[in-house]
Amino acid sequence: MLEFLRKHLFLLSISILIIIYTVGITLIITTDANSKIVELTPFTILLTTFLLLLNQNQWTINIIYSLVAVFLLGLLIEIIGVNTGFPFGEYSYSEILGIHIFQTPILIGINWLMLVYAAVLTLHTYMLNVWKKAVLAGLILVSLDVFIEPVAIGWGMWTWKTSSVPIQNYVTWGLAAIIFSLILSWKLEKTDSNKMAPVVLMLQFIFFVILGLCG
């Protein structure tokens, strides 16, 4: 059984995520049970991150340290943002994303880890230059955030004190994504790869673009 799972890990992982995201999109669009489905967001983020990391072809202590750093820094910048209004702007989280620390969901740090890792490992297959890879990853992720914001706000995951999302949010988001991508990129070996990375990145875009258009 274990040998079967190892041999077919990628196929099983991609099948599970495609089913979950497809069912989620379909139910949200076609039923009135949005609030119940949205409550499953923490589970979806955790499962997506787990399956993504499970498909890393090799692990080194440096990659582990880098991912921990991205998680902690992502959580820290969100804690600062929520409690001071800097650098993203003034906003607050609801209880949908689970356990909070200093008014910030711990899951947000995991989400930063998942997105940065997916973007960097997707690009790592095609480019090894650390700076180019980090900048492009940052641009990809800030583009994704443009689609995430209206959907997440509509679901009540977080709210802004201004009537619209401040431009500084996107600027800061992009800069943070670049810095976090640098942290991870510096520790990658040439042989590091993850076939699930582009799949996860694509699913994020498909999910939020479709829901944004249908919202």
What is the residue extent of each domain of the chain? 2-214
For 132-152, what is each residue's pLDDT tens digit? 999 999 999 999 999 999 999
Q: Once rounded to an integer, what is the mean pLDDT over residues 51-73?
A: 96
pLDDT at 31 over 90: no
* Average confidence score pLDDT of the chain: 94
pLDDT tens digits for range 87-126: 999 999 999 999 999 999 999 999 999 999 999 999 998 9
Q: Are 71 and 78 in contact (CB under 8 A)?
A: no
Angle, in degrees to the nearest 10, between helices 167-185 and 106-124: 60
| Radius of gyration of the CA atoms of the chain, in A | 17
Mean pLDDT of 165-183: 96
pTM of the model: 0.95
Residue type, 121: L
